[in-house]
Amino acid sequence: MNFSRIFLNRLQHLPETADTVVVIDVLRSFTTAAVVLSRGARAIYPVELVSAAQQLQAQLPNSLAVGAVAGGDPAPGFDFGNSPAALLNADLKGKAVVMSTAAGVRGLQRFGHSRQLFAASLVCARATAEAIRQAGAKEVCFVITGEWVDRDGDEDIACADYIQALLRGESPDPATYGQRVKRSDFGRRFASGDWPNLPLADLDLCADTDRFDFAMRVRWEDGVMVIR
């Protein structure tokens, strides 16, 4: 199995073909997505633009919107922000959830042409590695979404490192990668208490390695991207 990495915010040219792409957003999009699915949502619809997300929500019965704009502030008019901790006790059984975020969702949309596409975070990393292995992937590209001008993105790099180690048959210590999430540039913002929409509870949850036992496969259904 061959591995490669792409940093979304340094992306100039998309690969012409892609076998298996794993888009990683630990803080917080795909930790939020994992919580949403664990709470019984029937599907997540990742939509890049807030306005398009609102339009899609209006078309889906029994649906709600989750997401945030750049910087982590809740998207205006949405039912929930991009806070996984705030959704831990939400009743989402049977609901369709439209999600719009500044990094993770954008990454999925950029690589929608891939043969296999996964949304990933540390809370479901081992399950993601197992799903990739079972799917018979030959080439795996990790897309790092958290690196920005003012962020090292190490929370996402740590997740890629962990999944890659698992795919190589190694036995990495899960706690090491959770600590890297907390020590990352963005992780320290949650820990500082200076950012109202970046609560410490989110950081603790995002660093909880292998909390969930499912992977998040992304497919197109009737022209719309869906995570199940």
Rounded to whole angstroms, how far apart are CA atoms 149 and 139?
Answer: 29
Rounded to whole angstroms, how far apart are CA atoms 90 and 111?
Answer: 30
pLDDT attached to residue 50: 85
Nearest CA to 37 among 127, 102, 115, 111?
127
DSSP assignment of 109-147 equals: HHTTTSSEEEEE-GGGHHHHHHHHHHTT-SEEEEEE---
Rounded to whole angstroms, how far apart are CA atoms 123 and 36?
Answer: 12
Rounded to whole angstroms, how far apart are CA atoms 143 and 159?
Answer: 11
**pLDDT mean over 12-16:** 59
The percentage of residues in the chain with a pLDDT greater than 90, rounded to a whole number, is 81
For residue 178, how far is the Cα from the chain centroid? 15
Identify the residue with better confidence: 77 or 66. 66
pTM score, whole prediction: 0.94
**pLDDT mean over 82-92:** 95
Q: How confident is the model at residue 14 (pLDDT cuts 50, 70, 90)?
A: low
Q: Which CATH architecture has domain 2-11+18-227?
A: Alpha-Beta Complex (3.90)
Sketch the domain layout of the chain as residue ranges. 2-11+18-227
pLDDT tens per residue, range 123-146 = 999 999 999 999 999 999 999 999
The type of residue at 89 is: N
Rounded to whole angstroms, how far apart are CA atoms 58 and 46?
Answer: 15
Nearest CA to 158 among 168, 139, 140, 173?
173
Say if residue 197's pLDDT is above 60: yes
